[in-house]
Amino acid sequence: EADNLFGFDDHDDDSVGDVQFDDGASNTGIMPFDHGPGSPDARDTSNIDAIEFEALCRAHIKAFAKGAEKYATETNLTKRVGDWQSRLAPILEEEEERPEFNIHSYGERVIEIMEEEIESSDNSKDPKKANVVSFSKITRGCKTYEICRLF
- Check: CB of residue 130 under 8 Å from CB of residue 124: yes
Phi, psi of 4 (to 5 degrees): -100, 20
d(CA 3, CA 11): 8
- Check: CB of residue 106 under 8 Å from CB of residue 150: yes
State the average pLDDT over residues 105-120.
Answer: 89
Res. 49 pLDDT band, cuts 50 70 90: confident
Q: What is the pTM of this model?
A: 0.41
Cite the DSSP H helix spans in the chain: 45-97, 103-120, 135-138, 144-150
> What is the distance between the terminal CA atoms of the chain, rounded to a whole angstrom?
92
Indicate if the pLDDT at residue 126 is higher than 90.
no
For residue 142, the tally of other CB atoms under 10 A from its CB is 14
- Check: CB of residue 145 under 8 Å from CB of residue 98: yes
Res. 151 pLDDT band, cuts 50 70 90: confident
